[in-house]
Structure 1
Protein backbone atom coordinates (compact mmCIF):
# COMPACT_ATOMS: atom_id res chain seq x y z
CA UNK A 1 0.00 0.00 0.00
CA UNK A 2 1.58 3.26 -1.12
CA UNK A 3 1.02 6.69 0.36
CA UNK A 4 -0.14 9.47 -1.90
CA UNK A 5 2.90 11.61 -2.63
CA UNK A 6 1.15 14.85 -1.65
CA UNK A 7 -0.17 13.65 1.71
CA UNK A 8 1.05 15.99 4.46
CA UNK A 9 2.98 14.58 7.39
CA UNK A 10 3.41 16.15 10.81
CA UNK A 11 6.80 15.10 12.22
CA UNK A 12 5.80 16.26 15.70
CA UNK A 13 3.36 13.34 15.83
CA UNK A 14 6.28 10.96 16.46
CA UNK A 15 9.00 11.18 19.08
CA UNK A 16 12.38 10.22 17.61
CA UNK A 17 14.88 9.10 20.27
CA UNK A 18 17.22 7.07 18.11
CA UNK A 19 20.78 7.25 19.41
CA UNK A 20 19.83 9.37 22.43
CA UNK A 21 20.74 7.01 25.29
CA UNK A 22 23.13 4.28 26.31
CA UNK A 23 22.19 1.06 24.59
CA UNK A 24 21.08 -1.85 26.75
CA UNK A 25 21.59 -5.22 25.15
CA UNK A 26 19.92 -8.37 26.41
CA UNK A 27 22.70 -10.81 27.23
CA UNK A 28 21.24 -14.07 25.91
CA UNK A 29 22.07 -16.56 23.20
CA UNK A 30 20.48 -16.71 19.77
CA UNK A 31 17.65 -19.09 20.67
CA UNK A 32 16.76 -17.07 23.76
CA UNK A 33 16.81 -13.87 21.74
CA UNK A 34 14.29 -15.44 19.38
CA UNK A 35 12.02 -16.38 22.26
CA UNK A 36 12.35 -12.94 23.83
CA UNK A 37 11.45 -11.24 20.59
CA UNK A 38 8.39 -13.39 20.34
CA UNK A 39 7.46 -12.95 23.99
CA UNK A 40 6.97 -9.25 23.44
CA UNK A 41 6.38 -9.21 19.69
CA UNK A 42 3.37 -7.19 18.66
CA UNK A 43 1.88 -6.57 22.03
CA UNK A 44 3.52 -7.77 25.24
CA UNK A 45 5.16 -4.90 27.10
CA UNK A 46 8.77 -5.29 28.30
CA UNK A 47 7.79 -5.05 31.95
CA UNK A 48 6.48 -8.61 31.65
CA UNK A 49 10.02 -9.83 30.91
CA UNK A 50 11.25 -9.01 34.42
CA UNK A 51 12.16 -11.94 36.62
CA UNK A 52 13.21 -14.23 33.76
CA UNK A 53 16.84 -14.25 34.83
CA UNK A 54 17.97 -12.43 31.70
CA UNK A 55 20.93 -10.12 32.17
CA UNK A 56 21.58 -6.81 30.48
CA UNK A 57 24.78 -5.00 29.66
CA UNK A 58 25.34 -1.34 28.96
CA UNK A 59 27.10 -0.29 25.81
CA UNK A 60 28.73 3.01 25.00
CA UNK A 61 26.46 5.89 23.99
CA UNK A 62 25.69 5.41 20.34
CA UNK A 63 24.74 8.99 19.40
CA UNK A 64 22.79 9.72 16.23
CA UNK A 65 24.59 8.30 13.23
CA UNK A 66 25.43 10.95 10.70
CA UNK A 67 23.83 8.88 7.95
CA UNK A 68 20.55 8.40 9.85
CA UNK A 69 17.99 11.01 8.76
CA UNK A 70 15.79 12.54 11.46
CA UNK A 71 12.02 12.18 11.59
CA UNK A 72 11.81 15.96 11.13
CA UNK A 73 12.69 15.40 7.48
CA UNK A 74 9.48 13.43 6.89
CA UNK A 75 7.10 15.90 5.26
CA UNK A 76 5.04 14.12 2.61
CA UNK A 77 3.62 10.80 1.51
CA UNK A 78 6.48 10.58 -0.96
CA UNK A 79 8.87 10.46 2.01
CA UNK A 80 6.79 7.68 3.55
CA UNK A 81 7.15 5.67 0.37
CA UNK A 82 10.93 5.92 0.64
CA UNK A 83 11.69 5.56 4.35
CA UNK A 84 10.52 3.19 7.10
CA UNK A 85 10.54 5.86 9.82
CA UNK A 86 8.44 8.20 7.68
CA UNK A 87 6.13 5.25 6.99
CA UNK A 88 5.58 4.75 10.73
CA UNK A 89 4.70 8.44 11.04
CA UNK A 90 2.35 8.40 8.06
CA UNK A 91 0.67 5.20 9.22
CA UNK A 92 0.14 6.67 12.69
CA UNK A 93 -1.52 9.74 11.17
CA UNK A 94 -3.73 7.55 9.00
CA UNK A 95 -4.70 5.53 12.07
CA UNK A 96 -5.51 8.76 13.94
CA UNK A 97 -7.69 9.90 11.05
CA UNK A 98 -9.58 6.61 11.08
CA UNK A 99 -9.99 5.70 14.74
CA UNK A 100 -10.97 9.07 16.21
CA UNK A 101 -14.13 9.59 14.11
CA UNK A 102 -14.90 5.87 13.95
CA UNK A 103 -15.12 5.46 17.71
CA UNK A 104 -16.88 8.80 18.07
CA UNK A 105 -19.68 7.05 16.21
CA UNK A 106 -19.91 4.73 19.22
CA UNK A 107 -19.76 7.59 21.73
CA UNK A 108 -16.13 6.86 22.60
CA UNK A 109 -13.42 9.54 22.78
CA UNK A 110 -9.92 8.50 21.72
CA UNK A 111 -6.87 10.19 23.20
CA UNK A 112 -4.12 9.71 20.65
CA UNK A 113 -1.36 7.30 21.69
CA UNK A 114 2.27 8.34 21.80
CA UNK A 115 4.43 6.98 18.99
CA UNK A 116 8.16 6.66 19.59
CA UNK A 117 10.93 5.45 17.29
CA UNK A 118 14.06 4.27 19.09
CA UNK A 119 17.26 2.34 18.54
CA UNK A 120 19.24 0.04 20.84
CA UNK A 121 17.06 0.57 23.91
CA UNK A 122 14.33 2.76 25.31
CA UNK A 123 13.09 3.77 28.76
CA UNK A 124 9.33 3.48 29.20
CA UNK A 125 6.81 3.50 32.01
CA UNK A 126 6.73 -0.29 31.61
CA UNK A 127 10.49 -0.60 32.10
CA UNK A 128 13.59 -0.48 29.93
CA UNK A 129 13.38 -2.42 26.67
CA UNK A 130 16.04 -3.49 24.23
CA UNK A 131 15.38 -3.26 20.51
CA UNK A 132 15.55 -7.07 20.59
CA UNK A 133 12.05 -7.28 22.04
CA UNK A 134 10.50 -5.89 18.87
CA UNK A 135 7.67 -3.36 18.68
CA UNK A 136 5.39 -3.04 21.69
CA UNK A 137 2.71 -0.95 23.35
CA UNK A 138 3.08 0.23 26.95
CA UNK A 139 -0.32 0.94 28.54
CA UNK A 140 1.27 2.79 31.46
CA UNK A 141 2.41 5.64 29.21
CA UNK A 142 -0.04 4.89 26.36
CA UNK A 143 2.78 4.81 23.83
CA UNK A 144 3.71 2.43 21.03
CA UNK A 145 7.43 1.89 20.49
CA UNK A 146 9.17 0.91 17.25
CA UNK A 147 12.70 0.17 16.10
CA UNK A 148 12.70 0.25 12.30
CA UNK A 149 15.30 -2.54 12.25
CA UNK A 150 12.50 -4.94 13.21
CA UNK A 151 11.02 -4.72 9.74
CA UNK A 152 14.24 -6.15 8.32
CA UNK A 153 14.16 -8.90 10.96
CA UNK A 154 10.57 -9.71 10.05
CA UNK A 155 11.53 -10.20 6.42
CA UNK A 156 14.96 -11.78 6.72
CA UNK A 157 14.58 -13.96 9.82
CA UNK A 158 10.84 -14.68 10.06
CA UNK A 159 9.97 -15.32 6.44
CA UNK A 160 7.57 -12.43 5.91
CA UNK A 161 7.40 -11.12 2.36
CA UNK A 162 8.11 -7.54 3.42
CA UNK A 163 6.55 -4.55 1.73
CA UNK A 164 4.83 -1.40 2.97
CA UNK A 165 1.57 -2.98 4.11
CA UNK A 166 3.47 -5.58 6.15
CA UNK A 167 5.11 -2.73 8.06
CA UNK A 168 1.87 -0.80 8.31
CA UNK A 169 0.18 -3.89 9.73
CA UNK A 170 2.73 -3.94 12.57
CA UNK A 171 2.04 -0.28 13.38
CA UNK A 172 -1.73 -0.81 13.13
CA UNK A 173 -1.54 -3.81 15.46
CA UNK A 174 0.27 -1.85 18.16
CA UNK A 175 -2.15 1.05 17.72
CA UNK A 176 -4.89 -1.54 18.12
CA UNK A 177 -3.64 -2.23 21.64
CA UNK A 178 -4.18 1.43 22.44
CA UNK A 179 -7.73 1.17 21.15
CA UNK A 180 -8.20 -1.85 23.41
CA UNK A 181 -6.81 0.17 26.31
CA UNK A 182 -9.33 2.90 25.47
CA UNK A 183 -12.39 0.65 25.22
CA UNK A 184 -11.42 -1.60 28.13
CA UNK A 185 -10.51 -4.92 26.50
CA UNK A 186 -6.72 -4.81 26.93
CA UNK A 187 -7.02 -5.87 30.57
CA UNK A 188 -8.26 -9.31 29.52
CA UNK A 189 -4.72 -10.16 28.37
CA UNK A 190 -3.97 -10.88 32.03
CA UNK A 191 -6.71 -13.49 32.32
CA UNK A 192 -6.42 -17.16 31.55
CA UNK A 193 -2.64 -17.58 31.57
CA UNK A 194 -1.37 -18.98 28.29
CA UNK A 195 -2.81 -21.37 25.74
CA UNK A 196 -4.86 -21.29 22.53
CA UNK A 197 -7.98 -19.84 24.18
CA UNK A 198 -6.29 -17.67 26.81
CA UNK A 199 -7.08 -14.02 27.39
CA UNK A 200 -3.69 -13.07 25.98
CA UNK A 201 -4.36 -14.83 22.68
CA UNK A 202 -7.84 -13.34 22.44
CA UNK A 203 -6.51 -9.81 23.01
CA UNK A 204 -3.73 -10.23 20.43
CA UNK A 205 -6.14 -11.59 17.84
CA UNK A 206 -8.47 -8.66 18.47
CA UNK A 207 -5.57 -6.29 17.78
CA UNK A 208 -5.00 -8.13 14.50
CA UNK A 209 -8.68 -7.68 13.69
CA UNK A 210 -8.42 -3.99 14.51
CA UNK A 211 -5.46 -3.73 12.12
CA UNK A 212 -7.62 -5.28 9.42
CA UNK A 213 -10.45 -2.91 10.28
CA UNK A 214 -8.16 0.07 9.71
CA UNK A 215 -6.98 -1.46 6.43
CA UNK A 216 -10.59 -1.73 5.26
CA UNK A 217 -11.02 2.02 5.63
CA UNK A 218 -7.44 3.22 5.05
CA UNK A 219 -7.86 4.32 1.44
CA UNK A 220 -10.53 6.81 2.61
CA UNK A 221 -8.70 8.49 5.51
CA UNK A 222 -7.43 12.01 4.82
CA UNK A 223 -4.91 14.48 6.20
CA UNK A 224 -5.80 17.91 7.59
CA UNK A 225 -6.08 19.34 4.08
CA UNK A 226 -8.39 16.60 2.84
CA UNK A 227 -5.67 14.74 0.90
CA UNK A 228 -6.20 10.98 1.13
CA UNK A 229 -3.24 9.34 2.87
CA UNK A 230 -3.15 5.99 1.11
CA UNK A 231 -3.84 4.65 -2.33
CA UNK A 232 -6.09 1.59 -2.64
CA UNK A 233 -3.91 -1.42 -2.05
CA UNK A 234 -3.42 -4.40 -4.31
CA UNK A 235 -3.66 -8.15 -3.79
CA UNK A 236 0.12 -8.16 -3.46
CA UNK A 237 -0.16 -5.61 -0.63
CA UNK A 238 -2.68 -7.81 1.16
CA UNK A 239 -0.48 -10.88 0.77
CA UNK A 240 2.43 -9.01 2.36
CA UNK A 241 0.32 -8.09 5.39
CA UNK A 242 -0.92 -11.65 5.74
CA UNK A 243 2.63 -12.99 5.49
CA UNK A 244 3.67 -10.67 8.32
CA UNK A 245 0.74 -11.85 10.46
CA UNK A 246 1.63 -15.48 9.80
CA UNK A 247 5.34 -14.97 10.43
CA UNK A 248 4.67 -13.99 14.05
CA UNK A 249 2.22 -16.79 14.80
CA UNK A 250 3.06 -18.72 17.96
CA UNK A 251 3.22 -22.04 16.14
CA UNK A 252 5.69 -20.71 13.54
CA UNK A 253 7.87 -19.19 16.25
CA UNK A 254 7.83 -22.24 18.48
CA UNK A 255 8.71 -24.60 15.66
CA UNK A 256 11.60 -22.39 14.56
CA UNK A 257 12.91 -22.04 18.12
CA UNK A 258 12.35 -25.55 19.52
CA UNK A 259 11.38 -27.79 16.61
CA UNK A 260 7.91 -28.46 17.99
CA UNK A 261 4.59 -26.72 18.54
CA UNK A 262 3.18 -26.41 22.07
CA UNK A 263 -0.27 -24.75 22.04
CA UNK A 264 -0.35 -24.62 25.83
CA UNK A 265 2.34 -21.94 25.68
CA UNK A 266 0.64 -19.70 23.12
CA UNK A 267 0.23 -16.00 23.94
CA UNK A 268 -0.52 -14.47 20.51
CA UNK A 269 -2.29 -17.12 18.44
CA UNK A 270 -1.31 -19.34 15.54
CA UNK A 271 -0.27 -18.12 12.11
CA UNK A 272 -3.63 -19.16 10.67
CA UNK A 273 -5.56 -17.43 13.46
CA UNK A 274 -3.66 -14.17 13.08
CA UNK A 275 -4.33 -14.15 9.36
CA UNK A 276 -7.99 -15.07 9.84
CA UNK A 277 -8.70 -12.26 12.31
CA UNK A 278 -6.89 -9.65 10.24
CA UNK A 279 -9.06 -10.71 7.31
CA UNK A 280 -12.19 -10.61 9.47
CA UNK A 281 -11.59 -6.95 10.21
CA UNK A 282 -10.58 -6.18 6.64
CA UNK A 283 -13.47 -7.92 4.90
CA UNK A 284 -16.22 -6.61 7.17
CA UNK A 285 -14.92 -3.19 8.25
CA UNK A 286 -16.97 -3.49 11.44
CA UNK A 287 -15.55 -3.42 14.97
CA UNK A 288 -18.41 -5.61 16.17
CA UNK A 289 -16.93 -8.46 14.13
CA UNK A 290 -13.73 -8.24 16.21
CA UNK A 291 -15.16 -9.62 19.45
CA UNK A 292 -12.52 -12.29 19.98
CA UNK A 293 -13.24 -12.27 23.72
CA UNK A 294 -16.60 -13.95 23.14
CA UNK A 295 -15.66 -16.06 20.12
CA UNK A 296 -16.24 -19.78 20.65
CA UNK A 297 -13.99 -20.79 17.76
CA UNK A 298 -10.89 -18.65 17.31
CA UNK A 299 -9.92 -20.63 14.22
CA UNK A 300 -13.02 -19.59 12.32
CA UNK A 301 -14.15 -15.99 12.97
Structure 2
Protein backbone atom coordinates (compact mmCIF):
# COMPACT_ATOMS: atom_id res chain seq x y z
CA UNK A 1 0.00 0.00 0.00
CA UNK A 2 1.27 3.46 -0.90
CA UNK A 3 1.28 5.27 2.43
CA UNK A 4 4.67 6.87 3.25
CA UNK A 5 4.45 10.65 3.50
CA UNK A 6 0.67 10.82 3.46
CA UNK A 7 -1.67 12.26 6.10
CA UNK A 8 -1.90 10.52 9.47
CA UNK A 9 -4.98 10.65 11.68
CA UNK A 10 -5.06 12.93 14.70
CA UNK A 11 -7.69 10.69 16.31
CA UNK A 12 -5.23 8.04 17.50
CA UNK A 13 -4.25 7.63 21.14
CA UNK A 14 -1.03 5.70 21.73
CA UNK A 15 -1.07 3.95 25.10
CA UNK A 16 1.77 1.55 24.38
CA UNK A 17 4.05 3.34 26.82
CA UNK A 18 1.68 2.68 29.73
CA UNK A 19 2.78 -0.25 31.88
CA UNK A 20 -0.38 -0.26 34.00
CA UNK A 21 -3.35 1.86 34.83
CA UNK A 22 -7.08 1.88 35.34
CA UNK A 23 -8.44 -1.35 36.80
CA UNK A 24 -7.10 -4.83 36.54
CA UNK A 25 -9.25 -7.67 35.26
CA UNK A 26 -9.72 -10.51 37.70
CA UNK A 27 -11.52 -13.77 37.28
CA UNK A 28 -9.94 -17.18 36.47
CA UNK A 29 -11.39 -19.48 33.86
CA UNK A 30 -14.00 -17.05 32.53
CA UNK A 31 -11.15 -15.05 30.99
CA UNK A 32 -10.53 -17.88 28.55
CA UNK A 33 -14.17 -17.87 27.50
CA UNK A 34 -14.14 -14.13 26.92
CA UNK A 35 -10.91 -14.34 24.95
CA UNK A 36 -12.45 -16.99 22.70
CA UNK A 37 -15.50 -14.83 22.08
CA UNK A 38 -13.56 -11.65 21.47
CA UNK A 39 -10.59 -13.22 19.71
CA UNK A 40 -9.49 -12.01 16.29
CA UNK A 41 -12.21 -9.43 15.59
CA UNK A 42 -14.09 -8.39 18.72
CA UNK A 43 -16.73 -6.38 16.95
CA UNK A 44 -20.24 -6.69 18.32
CA UNK A 45 -19.19 -9.41 20.76
CA UNK A 46 -17.34 -6.73 22.70
CA UNK A 47 -20.56 -4.89 23.52
CA UNK A 48 -22.56 -8.04 24.22
CA UNK A 49 -19.98 -9.05 26.84
CA UNK A 50 -19.84 -5.64 28.50
CA UNK A 51 -21.91 -6.63 31.59
CA UNK A 52 -19.60 -9.59 32.26
CA UNK A 53 -16.50 -7.49 31.78
CA UNK A 54 -17.82 -4.81 34.11
CA UNK A 55 -18.55 -7.35 36.86
CA UNK A 56 -15.08 -8.81 36.54
CA UNK A 57 -13.38 -5.47 36.29
CA UNK A 58 -13.55 -4.70 40.00
CA UNK A 59 -9.81 -4.58 40.70
CA UNK A 60 -8.16 -1.71 42.48
CA UNK A 61 -7.02 1.32 40.54
CA UNK A 62 -3.34 0.98 39.76
CA UNK A 63 -0.86 3.79 39.22
CA UNK A 64 0.01 4.47 35.62
CA UNK A 65 3.61 4.56 34.53
CA UNK A 66 4.35 6.27 31.23
CA UNK A 67 7.58 5.66 29.38
CA UNK A 68 8.90 7.30 26.23
CA UNK A 69 8.25 5.22 23.14
CA UNK A 70 11.29 4.17 21.15
CA UNK A 71 11.94 5.45 17.65
CA UNK A 72 10.98 2.02 16.29
CA UNK A 73 7.71 1.99 18.23
CA UNK A 74 6.78 5.46 16.98
CA UNK A 75 7.56 4.43 13.41
CA UNK A 76 5.41 1.31 13.78
CA UNK A 77 2.40 3.53 14.51
CA UNK A 78 2.76 5.57 11.32
CA UNK A 79 1.10 3.01 9.04
CA UNK A 80 -2.06 2.39 11.12
CA UNK A 81 -2.41 6.14 11.60
CA UNK A 82 -2.26 6.62 7.84
CA UNK A 83 -4.80 3.87 7.20
CA UNK A 84 -7.08 5.36 9.84
CA UNK A 85 -6.82 8.73 8.11
CA UNK A 86 -7.88 7.05 4.86
CA UNK A 87 -10.95 5.59 6.57
CA UNK A 88 -11.85 9.07 7.84
CA UNK A 89 -11.55 10.65 4.40
CA UNK A 90 -13.32 7.89 2.47
CA UNK A 91 -16.19 7.30 4.86
CA UNK A 92 -16.63 11.03 5.27
CA UNK A 93 -17.06 11.25 1.49
CA UNK A 94 -19.37 8.22 1.26
CA UNK A 95 -21.60 9.52 4.05
CA UNK A 96 -21.73 12.96 2.44
CA UNK A 97 -22.75 11.44 -0.90
CA UNK A 98 -25.62 9.73 0.92
CA UNK A 99 -26.72 12.92 2.71
CA UNK A 100 -25.33 11.82 6.06
CA UNK A 101 -22.64 13.17 8.39
CA UNK A 102 -19.79 10.88 9.35
CA UNK A 103 -18.73 11.01 12.98
CA UNK A 104 -15.09 9.97 13.16
CA UNK A 105 -14.18 7.20 15.61
CA UNK A 106 -11.01 7.15 17.66
CA UNK A 107 -8.30 4.52 17.69
CA UNK A 108 -6.24 3.36 20.67
CA UNK A 109 -2.93 1.54 20.27
CA UNK A 110 -2.00 -0.58 23.29
CA UNK A 111 0.05 -3.51 24.48
CA UNK A 112 -0.77 -6.07 27.14
CA UNK A 113 -4.11 -4.82 28.43
CA UNK A 114 -6.38 -1.83 28.02
CA UNK A 115 -9.33 -0.22 29.79
CA UNK A 116 -12.30 0.76 27.60
CA UNK A 117 -15.85 2.01 28.03
CA UNK A 118 -16.89 -1.60 27.28
CA UNK A 119 -14.71 -2.96 30.09
CA UNK A 120 -11.16 -4.21 30.31
CA UNK A 121 -9.51 -6.34 27.64
CA UNK A 122 -6.18 -8.01 27.07
CA UNK A 123 -4.06 -8.31 23.95
CA UNK A 124 -5.38 -11.87 23.58
CA UNK A 125 -8.73 -10.36 22.61
CA UNK A 126 -7.38 -9.25 19.26
CA UNK A 127 -8.46 -5.96 17.64
CA UNK A 128 -11.96 -4.82 18.57
CA UNK A 129 -14.38 -1.91 18.44
CA UNK A 130 -16.12 -0.53 21.51
CA UNK A 131 -19.40 1.19 20.58
CA UNK A 132 -19.72 2.87 23.98
CA UNK A 133 -16.71 5.13 23.38
CA UNK A 134 -16.68 4.71 19.58
CA UNK A 135 -13.05 3.66 19.50
CA UNK A 136 -11.10 0.94 17.71
CA UNK A 137 -8.58 -0.85 19.95
CA UNK A 138 -5.46 -2.32 18.37
CA UNK A 139 -2.57 -4.27 19.84
CA UNK A 140 -0.03 -4.07 17.03
CA UNK A 141 1.59 -7.34 18.15
CA UNK A 142 -1.56 -9.07 16.87
CA UNK A 143 -0.39 -8.71 13.31
CA UNK A 144 2.65 -10.86 13.97
CA UNK A 145 0.27 -13.55 15.26
CA UNK A 146 -1.89 -13.14 12.17
CA UNK A 147 1.06 -14.47 10.16
CA UNK A 148 2.81 -16.82 12.58
CA UNK A 149 -0.22 -18.33 14.34
CA UNK A 150 -2.95 -18.13 11.73
CA UNK A 151 -0.95 -18.34 8.51
CA UNK A 152 -1.90 -15.09 6.79
CA UNK A 153 0.43 -13.67 4.16
CA UNK A 154 2.81 -10.94 5.22
CA UNK A 155 2.27 -7.39 4.00
CA UNK A 156 0.92 -4.16 5.35
CA UNK A 157 -2.50 -4.45 3.72
CA UNK A 158 -3.46 -7.30 6.03
CA UNK A 159 -3.17 -4.70 8.80
CA UNK A 160 -5.23 -2.25 6.74
CA UNK A 161 -7.95 -4.85 6.26
CA UNK A 162 -8.23 -5.46 10.00
CA UNK A 163 -8.46 -1.74 10.73
CA UNK A 164 -11.05 -1.26 7.98
CA UNK A 165 -13.09 -4.17 9.37
CA UNK A 166 -13.20 -2.62 12.84
CA UNK A 167 -14.15 0.75 11.35
CA UNK A 168 -16.92 -1.22 9.61
CA UNK A 169 -18.35 -1.90 13.06
CA UNK A 170 -18.31 1.85 13.69
CA UNK A 171 -20.31 2.33 10.48
CA UNK A 172 -22.85 -0.20 11.78
CA UNK A 173 -23.02 1.68 15.06
CA UNK A 174 -23.66 4.99 13.29
CA UNK A 175 -26.31 3.50 11.00
CA UNK A 176 -28.12 1.76 13.86
CA UNK A 177 -27.46 -1.74 12.51
CA UNK A 178 -25.84 -2.94 15.73
CA UNK A 179 -28.77 -1.86 17.90
CA UNK A 180 -31.27 -3.42 15.50
CA UNK A 181 -29.36 -6.71 15.59
CA UNK A 182 -29.41 -6.79 19.40
CA UNK A 183 -33.17 -6.20 19.36
CA UNK A 184 -33.67 -9.08 16.92
CA UNK A 185 -31.43 -11.35 19.01
CA UNK A 186 -33.71 -11.04 22.04
CA UNK A 187 -35.55 -14.28 22.55
CA UNK A 188 -33.53 -16.12 19.93
CA UNK A 189 -31.70 -19.37 20.60
CA UNK A 190 -27.92 -19.35 20.85
CA UNK A 191 -27.59 -20.80 17.36
CA UNK A 192 -29.94 -18.17 15.91
CA UNK A 193 -28.11 -15.43 17.78
CA UNK A 194 -24.79 -16.68 16.41
CA UNK A 195 -26.16 -16.43 12.85
CA UNK A 196 -26.96 -12.78 13.46
CA UNK A 197 -23.46 -12.20 14.84
CA UNK A 198 -22.02 -13.79 11.71
CA UNK A 199 -24.11 -11.48 9.54
CA UNK A 200 -22.84 -8.46 11.46
CA UNK A 201 -19.21 -9.52 11.07
CA UNK A 202 -19.61 -10.28 7.37
CA UNK A 203 -21.11 -6.86 6.83
CA UNK A 204 -18.06 -5.32 8.51
CA UNK A 205 -15.94 -7.27 6.00
CA UNK A 206 -18.15 -5.89 3.23
CA UNK A 207 -17.56 -2.34 4.46
CA UNK A 208 -13.82 -3.03 4.53
CA UNK A 209 -14.10 -3.99 0.86
CA UNK A 210 -16.07 -0.83 0.06
CA UNK A 211 -13.32 1.21 1.73
CA UNK A 212 -10.64 -0.60 -0.30
CA UNK A 213 -12.54 0.12 -3.54
CA UNK A 214 -12.67 3.83 -2.79
CA UNK A 215 -8.99 3.80 -1.77
CA UNK A 216 -7.92 2.27 -5.08
CA UNK A 217 -5.37 4.96 -5.94
CA UNK A 218 -3.30 4.08 -2.87
CA UNK A 219 -3.28 0.30 -3.35
CA UNK A 220 -0.46 -1.87 -4.66
CA UNK A 221 -0.91 -4.89 -6.90
CA UNK A 222 -0.69 -7.45 -4.07
CA UNK A 223 -2.87 -5.64 -1.52
CA UNK A 224 -6.17 -7.39 -2.24
CA UNK A 225 -4.46 -10.80 -2.12
CA UNK A 226 -3.09 -9.89 1.32
CA UNK A 227 -6.57 -8.90 2.52
CA UNK A 228 -8.06 -12.14 1.23
CA UNK A 229 -5.31 -14.12 2.92
CA UNK A 230 -6.12 -12.42 6.22
CA UNK A 231 -9.84 -13.11 5.73
CA UNK A 232 -9.02 -16.75 5.00
CA UNK A 233 -6.91 -17.03 8.15
CA UNK A 234 -9.56 -15.64 10.49
CA UNK A 235 -12.60 -17.55 9.28
CA UNK A 236 -14.33 -19.45 12.08
CA UNK A 237 -13.78 -22.76 10.31
CA UNK A 238 -10.07 -22.10 9.78
CA UNK A 239 -9.55 -21.05 13.41
CA UNK A 240 -11.51 -23.95 14.88
CA UNK A 241 -9.76 -26.46 12.64
CA UNK A 242 -6.35 -25.12 13.65
CA UNK A 243 -7.08 -24.68 17.35
CA UNK A 244 -9.27 -27.72 18.14
CA UNK A 245 -8.95 -30.03 15.14
CA UNK A 246 -12.63 -29.93 14.18
CA UNK A 247 -15.29 -27.37 13.37
CA UNK A 248 -18.67 -26.67 15.01
CA UNK A 249 -20.70 -24.59 12.52
CA UNK A 250 -23.49 -23.68 14.97
CA UNK A 251 -20.89 -21.97 17.17
CA UNK A 252 -19.61 -19.70 14.39
CA UNK A 253 -19.80 -16.00 15.26
CA UNK A 254 -17.76 -14.40 12.45
CA UNK A 255 -18.30 -16.54 9.36
CA UNK A 256 -16.31 -19.05 7.38
CA UNK A 257 -13.19 -18.14 5.45
CA UNK A 258 -15.11 -18.32 2.17
CA UNK A 259 -17.90 -16.12 3.50
CA UNK A 260 -15.46 -13.51 4.76
CA UNK A 261 -13.62 -13.43 1.45
CA UNK A 262 -16.89 -13.29 -0.51
CA UNK A 263 -18.28 -10.30 1.35
CA UNK A 264 -15.00 -8.41 1.33
CA UNK A 265 -14.79 -8.90 -2.43
CA UNK A 266 -18.45 -7.93 -2.93
CA UNK A 267 -17.72 -4.65 -1.18
CA UNK A 268 -14.54 -4.21 -3.21
CA UNK A 269 -16.22 -4.95 -6.54
CA UNK A 270 -19.34 -2.85 -6.00
CA UNK A 271 -18.09 -0.02 -3.79
CA UNK A 272 -21.76 0.50 -2.92
CA UNK A 273 -22.81 0.50 0.74
CA UNK A 274 -26.37 -0.41 -0.30
CA UNK A 275 -25.20 -3.85 -1.54
CA UNK A 276 -24.17 -5.19 1.88
CA UNK A 277 -27.35 -6.73 3.32
CA UNK A 278 -25.83 -9.77 5.00
CA UNK A 279 -28.94 -10.14 7.18
CA UNK A 280 -31.36 -11.04 4.35
CA UNK A 281 -33.47 -14.03 5.33
CA UNK A 282 -32.21 -14.25 8.90
CA UNK A 283 -35.06 -12.54 10.77
Would you call these one fold, judging by a TM-score over 0.5? yes
Provide TM-score, normalisation by structure 1. 0.79
Aligned residue in 2 for 1:6: 5
CA 1:201 to 1:47, structure 2 compared with 1: closer, same or farther past 3 Å? closer
Gaps of 5+ in 1: 74-78, 221-229, 297-301
- Note the C-alpha offset of 1:162: 2.3
Deviations 1:182-233 (A, max 9, x none): 011122443255548711110100000000000001135xxxxxxxxx2x32
Of Structure 1 and Structure 2, the greater helix share is in: 2
CA 1:68 to 1:6, structure 2 compared with 1: closer, same or farther past 3 Å? closer
| Aligned-partner SS, 1:140 | coil
- Note the C-alpha offset of 1:91: 0.7
CA 1:276 to 1:156, structure 2 compared with 1: closer, same or farther past 3 Å? same
Find runs of 4+ consecutive structure 1 residues off by over 4 angstroms: 23-29, 32-35, 49-58, 60-67, 192-197
Aligned residue in 2 for 1:45: 46
CA 1:193 to 1:147, structure 2 compared with 1: closer, same or farther past 3 Å? farther
Q: How does 1:199-210 map to 2 (within 5 A)?
A: 199-210=196-207
CA 1:9 to 1:61, structure 2 compared with 1: closer, same or farther past 3 Å? same
Query: What do you get for the CA RMSD once the two structures are aligned?
Result: 3.0
Aligned residue in 2 for 1:219: 216
1:264 aligns to 2:250 (yes or no): yes
CA contact 1:2–1:164 (8 Å) conserved in 2: no
| Aligned-partner SS, 1:93 | helix
- Note the C-alpha offset of 1:142: 0.7
Distance 1:102 1:283 in 2: 16
Distance 2:95 2:57 in 1: 42
| Aligned-partner SS, 1:45 | helix
- Which of 124, 133, 143 is the aligned partner of 1:132? 124
Provide TM-score, normalisation by structure 2. 0.83
CA contact 2:25–2:120 (8 Å) conserved in 1: no
